[in-house]
């Protein structure tokens, strides 16, 4: 579009209009991104700087937030701290300078691991199940295909709390409450609808002539699926997997109602990172930053497929 | 059936997707066997995790079951729960709060999202970099977003109040977005708009890019004013996309729980108590499982019904 032959395309905007449009968009982008940068900066503030008035833009960076995030501490008298052997690490030193003593590791690492296990587990299952179903819907005449596809989608219209009521009872009977397996199954079911719809779109775009040629060459249908269709669908499968992963990663309602410890993920955990007298904002900001950075990365990777993902494949380009 | 019209709209391509059976069966499993083999895990999972629980919910909605007392005698109460809900003032209040939230957040997102899309479509330099930045908020965890906005919206120490005071000169500690009866409904709208305007923008941008240049060129030849071009070309052609964005946003915001639960948890009092938050209180704090099941069924029927009606309208718009 930019490489038009005519120098004065009618639809191409004048430089002044472009500059004006650009200025407003950049202003909006800056305003929208400042809250995120602020959280990233707060993670490096000391607790007193984080709640200073007026809010501090320039501050002396401190790792206290990150140290507080990963440790449990207790306040001690200076005399007691003086009686201890010298600190063995930089973070112990930092904690002691606040008249505190490290009592052990906090729960953030297990919670982060839970997010990873449940996220990857459910993503793998949803994409596996979704690819099979999407292929069948795309290539074969399935009776009631439209109704089935709609049924798959309608499961997303339920408010999560409404779904959680019977799941809570069911999991209690099956002893799946607060287990990794229970959360993986639940997220797989929620993600399966997205996976089927997205992957069906991707597979529809692969010309069926390829498979037919393979079939003529003596491949069975399954071989053609594995050796011809799957390699062609790799980009689509990867994009779908990232969308599923982001959903599981971000999910809160089910996690807060169905997990309490063993299988608790990050979203219900982060708001309860507390220090003395309320939320420990630098530690919360540190957790938030660590939690959001992978998503920022994936958003940039996914840029081209974003539109498709957020509309269940309804809009493509 | 409305279900099929819905799928037609949302995918567009379902209609062209009635595949011909592949040339001839050669060897291996028959196509029909493979089709069922491939679809059954998905259907089985959805039956177990979605449909079975849904049926259970419907059954519970006719009882007085309380899940914190699993051994108490369960009595069949007929339609009592439904009658109680429809005459429960808290429920009506929650529905009003939800309606206010859905209408205003979507209205703002349409204005901002469509506006941004129009500007980005001017293809200024490095527009794709800035677009990606703008898109970030919508990918983040709503719960975590709600949580950190409580920090940004603190009176005095919060960045938002400080920025407002810099621009308007109002004392930053003179107002609080969360906790004020007047302002907190707008606090949840503000954060939702920050998060989801990019969503509307992205879909509108796709709509704008789908308009072929020659239409504008023809309009230019006919000396149509830019204003006229906007109303007779741009808007009608983007409208189906915009309506699709509104559909998705409306469903999502009607179900809204996570962000608002962490931002205001329905407070102060019940000023921002959305339907999902009321449902959570009934189901998981008061443990009125039968009653809340009936409420869940009502919510689902509402979303489902409204979405179906909306999709019919959307189909009409597209056919014009």
In a domain, B76, yes or no: no
Contact across the interface for B257 and A26, Cβ inside 8 Å: no
- Kindly report, residue by residue over B192-217, the tens digit of the pLDDT: 999 999 999 999 999 998 899 898 88
Domain ranges, residue B171: 84-319
Instruction: Tell me the CA end-to-end span of chain A in Å, nearest whole number.
Output: 15
Assess whether pLDDT exceeds 90 at residue B269.
Answer: no
Q: Are A244 and A191 in contact (CB under 8 A)?
A: yes
pLDDT tens sequence across A204-253: 999 989 888 998 888 888 889 999 999 999 999 999 999 999 999 999 99
The pLDDT value recorded for residue B141 is 93
- Contact flag B60-A146 (C-beta cutoff 8 Å): no
Distance from CA of B100 to the nearest CA of A (A): 18
Give CA separation, A273 vs A62, B267, B310, in Å: 18, 21, 42
Which of A41, A158, A294 to mutate against chain B (most B CBs within 10 Å)? A158
Pick from A163, A196, A219: which is nearest to B53 by CB? Answer: A163
Task: Work out how many domains chain B is built from and give that number.
Answer: 1
pLDDT (tens digit per residue) in A42-84: 999 988 888 888 888 888 888 988 988 898 888 888 888 888 8
- B175-182: average pLDDT: 88
Highest average pLDDT, of A134-143, A301-310, B36-45, B190-199, comes from B190-199
**Residue A90's pLDDT band (boundaries 50, 70, 90)?**
confident
Query: Which residue of chain A comes nearest to B151, CA vs CA?
Result: A281
Q: What is the pLDDT of residues B52-96, one digit of tens each?
A: 888 999 999 999 888 888 787 888 888 889 999 999 998 999 999
Find out whether B59 and A169 touch, Cβ atoms under 8 Å: no
Residues of B in contact with A34 (CB under 8 A): 159
Instruction: Read off the pLDDT of residues A257-272 as tens digits, 9 standing for 90 and up.
Output: 999 888 999 999 998 8
Nearest to B110 by CA among B230, B249, B232, B233: B249
Spell out which residues of chain B touch residue A138, defining contact as CB-CB under 8 Å.
17, 19
HSE of B119, CA atoms in CB hemisphere, 13 A: 24
Rg (CA), chain A: 26
Q: Rounded to a whole number, what is the distance in Å from the CA of A13 to chain B's nearest CA?
A: 6
- For residue A9, is pLDDT > 60? no
- Angstrom distances, CA of residue A265 to CA of A119, A193, A250, A257: 9, 22, 9, 12
Q: Do B42 and A132 touch (CB under 8 A)?
A: yes
Q: Give mean pLDDT, residues A88-106.
A: 84
Sign, CA torsion B214/B217/B222/B228: positive
The pLDDT of residue A34 is: 94
Which residue has tokens 């959570």?
B280
Shortest Cα distance from B197 to chain A (angstroms)? 10
Q: Which residues of A touch B289 (CB under 8 A)?
A: 165, 169
Closest CB to B39 among A12, A136, A147: A136
The answer on pLDDT for B174 being more than 70 is yes
Which CATH number applies to A109-272? 1.10.3720.10
Which of A153, A162, A310 is closest, CB to CB, to B57?
A162
Contacts of A256 in chain B (CB under 8 A): 143
* Cβ atoms within 10 Å, residue B149: 27
pLDDT reading at A8 higher than 50: no
Q: What is the predicted pLDDT for the residue at B20? A: 46
Determine whether the interchain pair B38/A33 forms a contact, defined as Cβ–Cβ distance below 8 Å: no
Confidence (pLDDT) at B15:
39
Of all residues in chain A, the percent with pLDDT exceeding 70 is: 96
Shortest Cα distance, chain A CAs vs residue B215, angstroms: 10
Cis amide bond preceding A54, omega within 30: yes
The residue among B112, B38, B88 whose CA lies nearest residue B294 is B88
Question: From the candidates A12, A27, A28, which should be mutated to test the interface with B, based on the most B CB atoms within 10 A?
Answer: A28
What is d(CA A168, CA A302) in angstroms, rounded to the nearest whole number? 34
Lowest mean pLDDT, pick from A53-57, B46-50, B59-63, B287-291? A53-57
Q: Which residue has the higher pLDDT, A31 or B318?
A: A31
Residues ≥6 apart with Cβ < 8 Å to A89: none
Contact B54 A166 (CB under 8 A): yes
Chain A residues touching residue B135 (CB < 8 angstroms): 299, 303, 306
Q: Give the percent of chain B with pLDDT over 90.
A: 49
Question: Is the pLDDT confidence value at A2 over 50?
Answer: no
User: What is the pLDDT, as a whole number, of residue A82?
Assistant: 83
By C-alpha distance, the chain B residue nearest A305 is: B202
Contact B144 A197 (CB under 8 A): no
* B4-14: average pLDDT: 45
Preferred mutation among B48, B141, B172 to probe A, highest tally of A CBs within 10 A: B141
Interface contact flag, A38 B159, Cβ < 8 Å: yes
A146 to chain B: which residues are within 8 Å by CB? 3-4, 7-8, 14
Check which CATH number belongs to the domain holding B261 and give it.
1.10.3720.10
Please indicate whether residue A91 or residue B103 has the higher confidence score (pLDDT): B103
Report pLDDT for B31: 82
Going by C-alpha positions, the residue among B309, B1, B32 that lies closest to residue A147 is: B1
How high is the pLDDT of residue A11?
63
B53 to A154: CB separation less than 8 angstroms, yes or no: no
Residue B3 pLDDT > 50, yes or no?
no
Whether residue A315 and residue B203 make contact (CB cut-off 8 A), yes or no, is yes
B22's CB contacts (< 8 A; 6+ apart) are A139, A208, A211, A212, A215, A221, B31
Q: Residue B277 falls within a domain, yes or no?
A: yes
**Distance between alpha carbon A97 and the CA centroid of its chain, in Å?**
36
**What is the reported pLDDT for A317?**
58
Contacts of A170 in chain B (CB under 8 A): 52-53, 56
Distance from CA of B33 to the nearest CA of A (A): 10
Interface pTM, i.e. ipTM: 0.87
B4 domain residue, yes or no? no
Residue B8's pLDDT is what? 46
Nearest by CB to B144, which of A29, A130, A270? A270
Report, as an integer, the average pLDDT of A185-200: 92
Residues of B in contact with A223 (CB under 8 A): 28
What are the residues facing A57 on neighbouring strands? none
Q: What is the pLDDT of residues B184-198, one digit of tens each?
A: 999 999 999 999 999
The pLDDT of residue B10 is 46
Query: Token pair of B211, please?
Result: 């308009």
| pLDDT greater than 80 at residue B115 | yes
């Amino acid at each position: 579009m930019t490489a038009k032959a005519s120098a004065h395309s009618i639809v191409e905007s004048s430089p002044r209009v472009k500059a004006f449009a650009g200025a407003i968009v950049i202003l909006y982008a800056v305003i929208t991104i400042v809250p995120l940068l602020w959280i990233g900066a707060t993670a490096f503030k000391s607790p007193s700087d984080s709640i200073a008035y007026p809010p501090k833009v320039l501050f002396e960076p401190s790792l206290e937030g990150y140290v507080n995030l990963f440790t449990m501490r207790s306040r001690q008298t200076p005399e007691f701290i003086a009686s201890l052997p010298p600190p063995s690490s930089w973070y112990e030193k930092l904690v002691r300078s606040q008249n505190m003593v490290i009592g052990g590791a906090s729960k953030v690492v297990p919670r982060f691991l839970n997010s990873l296990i449940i996220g990857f587990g459910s993503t793998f299952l949803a994409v596996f199940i979704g690819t099979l179903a999407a292929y069948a819907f795309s290539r074969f005449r399935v009776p009631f295909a439209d109704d089935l596809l709609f049924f798959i989608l309608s499961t997303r219209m339920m408010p999560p709390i409404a779904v959680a009521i019977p799941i809570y009872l069911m999991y209690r009977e099956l002893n799946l409450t607060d287990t990794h397996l229970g959360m993986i199954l639940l997220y797989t079911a929620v993600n399966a609808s997205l996976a089927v719809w997205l992957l069906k779109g991707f597979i529809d775009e692969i010309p069926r002539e390829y498979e037919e040629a393979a079939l003529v060459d003596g491949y069975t249908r399954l071989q053609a699926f594995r050796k011809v269709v799957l390699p062609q669908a790799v980009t689509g499968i990867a994009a779908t997997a990232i969308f599923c992963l982001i959903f599981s990663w971000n999910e809160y309602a089910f996690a807060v109602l169905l997990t309490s410890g063993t299988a608790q993920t990050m979203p219900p955990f982060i708001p309860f990172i507390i220090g003395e007298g309320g939320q420990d904002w630098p530690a919360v900001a540190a957790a938030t930053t660590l939690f959001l950075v992978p998503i920022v990365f994936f958003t940039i990777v996914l840029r081209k497929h974003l539109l498709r993902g957020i509309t269940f494949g309804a809009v493509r380009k | 059936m409305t279900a099929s019209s819905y799928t037609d709209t949302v995918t567009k391509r379902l209609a062209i997707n009635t595949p011909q059976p592949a040339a001839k069966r050669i060897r291996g499993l028959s196509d029909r066997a493979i089709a069922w083999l491939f679809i059954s895990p998905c259907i089985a999972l959805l039956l177990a995790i979605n449909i079975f629980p849904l049926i259970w919910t419907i059954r519970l909605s006719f009882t007085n079951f309380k899940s914190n007392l699993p051994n108490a005698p369960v009595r069949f109460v007929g339609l009592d729960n439904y009658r109680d809900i429809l005459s429960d003032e808290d429920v009506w209040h929650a529905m009003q709060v939800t309606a206010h939230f859905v209408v205003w957040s979507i209205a703002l997102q349409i204005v901002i999202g469509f506006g941004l899309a129009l500007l980005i479509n001017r293809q200024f330099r490095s527009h794709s970099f800035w677009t990606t930045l703008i898109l970030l908020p919508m990918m983040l965890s709503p719960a975590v977003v709600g949580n950190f906005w409580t920090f940004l919206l603190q009176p005095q120490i919060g960045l938002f109040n400080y920025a407002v005071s810099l621009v308007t000169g109002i004392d930053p500690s003179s107002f609080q977005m969360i906790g004020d009866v007047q302002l907190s409904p707008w606090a949840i709208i503000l954060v939702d708009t920050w998060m989801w305007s990019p969503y509307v923008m992205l879909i509108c941008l796709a709509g704008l890019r789908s308009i072929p240049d020659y239409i504008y060129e023809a309009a230019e030849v006919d000396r149509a004013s830019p204003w006229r071009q906007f109303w007779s070309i741009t808007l009608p052609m983007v409208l189906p996309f915009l309506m699709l964005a509104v559909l998705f946003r409306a469903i999502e915001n009607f179900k809204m729980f996570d962000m608002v639960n962490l931002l205001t948890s329905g407070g102060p009092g019940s000023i921002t108590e959305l339907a999902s938050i009321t449902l959570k209180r009934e189901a998981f704090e008061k443990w009125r499982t039968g009653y809340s099941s009936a409420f869940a069924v009502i919510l689902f029927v509402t979303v489902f019904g409204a979405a179906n009606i909306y999709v019919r309208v959307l189909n009409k718009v597209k056919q014009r």
